[in-house]
Amino acid sequence: MQRLPLPHHLIEAARAFADGHAEPAEPRDAATVVLMRPGAGEPDLYLLRRQTSMAFAGGMCVFPGGGVDPRDDDPAVAWAGPSPTEWAERLGTDEDKARALVCAAVRETFEESGVLLAGPSASTVVEDTSGDDWEADRVALESRELHFSDFLVRRGLVLRTDLLGAWSGWLTPIFEPRRYRTWFFVAAMPQGQVTRHVGTEASSVRWVPAAEAVRRVEAQEIGMLPPTWLTCLEISGFEHPDSVLAAAADRRVEMFMPEVVEDADGHLLSTPPAYVELLREREGS
């Protein structure tokens, strides 16, 4: 894929920051989850197309996710899987933020897809979240009328952090007016649950094979921000969600902020070193 040059207004915005004529916006912590299911030789990925009216990434296809709520950092949450200390090492942050990020990842996935990575015990997962009572709780969580920890306690649920894997970290470029420090997680669809088009921020949702998502972006049939596109490209090289989760077990997230670079194709955003060879292989295929 030939990466498209940056629009002129973004180049000028980047220059203003480089010259010290502008102050960057403070980034907000966020979590997003690459929700996967088995496909035909590669994982299918769950994508939401954001409403075109959204101030950030309007019209773009994204994974479920969103900003961390201050109430996500609650030690009272029943926890199964790697401890907050272990997650802090994987995510490259402190224990309190790691707990909040993992809770935000699970909460946002439920809010935006109806999929809940929690169960009655440390070895089980909720089988069905499609009832009216679940939908009422989901809406209350989305509106922040209900705390995620209270939701889990009231339903007697354990947060299944072992169903998540850490994948990557992206910091919005310095010249963007809205900035996020986003941790990418991966997770497989729990047995028995189904996704639903429930979130208010998405105009449509779809399951798409990872390689097909890459092709659609290249054909300009759908839009994606670079981190989403690169994640789809990387995951298209795996045969099954289980192999993605196995690879995630050894990952340690290093936050990457794209910068403007200039080459023969014009002004582009820089790419994390881990993805450079992947892009070369794609461009040569």
Q: Which helix (H) or strand (E) holds 138?
A: helix 132-142
Mean pLDDT in residue range 31-45: 97
Q: Are 117 and 185 in contact (CB under 8 A)?
A: no
Report the chain's mean pLDDT, rounded to a whole number.
88
Type of residue found at 254: E
Query: Band of the pLDDT at 11, cuts 50, 70, 90?
Result: low
Place of tokens 């399951």: 207
Mean pLDDT in residue range 129-140: 94
A 10 A CB-CB count for 250 gives 9
Query: Band of the pLDDT at 259, cuts 50, 70, 90?
Result: confident
At residue 53, the 3 state secondary structure works out as: coil
pLDDT exceeds 60 at position 232: yes
pTM: 0.90
Mean pLDDT in residue range 242-265: 88
Place of tokens 């979130």: 199
Tokens standing for residue 216: 């659609």
pLDDT in tens, 195-226: 987 766 666 789 999 999 999 998 889 888 88
Calculate the CA dihedral of residues 106, 84, 232, 228 and round it to 10 degrees.
80
Tokens standing for residue 151: 């939701």
Nearest of 1, 200, 163, 169 to residue 79 by alpha carbon: 163
pLDDT exceeds 90 at position 99: yes
Mean pLDDT in residue range 13-24: 69
Largest pairwise CA distance in the chain: 58
